[in-house]
């Protein structure tokens, strides 16, 4: 398993013509994908449910 940075396009499946490109940290062993709130709001993505996650401090990148 590894971690790397990549450029990704994030879009709302209900409006796929609108895409926001951003840099993302990809963890090959991750269970969840996390996208910043401001990006989701710009794409008018509505939450299905909320989940609080604990952010661990890591300075490997």
In a domain, 60, yes or no: no
In a domain, 61, yes or no: no
The DSSP line for the chain is --EEEEEEEEEETTEEEEEEEEEEEEETT-S-----HHHHHHTTPPPS-----PPPP----
pTM: 0.67
In a domain, 47, yes or no: no
pLDDT value at residue 34: 84
Q: Looking at the 3D structure of the chain, how many domains does it have?
A: 1
Please list the pLDDT of the chain residue by residue as tens digits (61 residues): 577 899 999 999 999 999 999 999 888 788 888 889 999 999 999 888 887 877 776 665 5
pLDDT value at residue 60: 58
Angle at 57 between CA 54 and CA 61, to 5 degrees: 125
In a domain, 37, yes or no: yes
Q: Which range of residues forms the domain containing residue 32? A: 3-42
Query: Which is nearest to 14 in space by CA: 46, 60, 61?
Result: 46
């Amino acid at each position: 398993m590894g971690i790397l940075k990549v450029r990704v396009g994030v879009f709302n499946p209900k409006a796929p013509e609108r895409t926001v490109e951003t840099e993302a940290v990809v963890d090959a062993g991750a269970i969840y994908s996390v996208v910043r709130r401001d990006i989701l709001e710009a794409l008018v993505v509505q939450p299905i449910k909320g989940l609080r996650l604990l952010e661990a401090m890591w300075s490997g990148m």
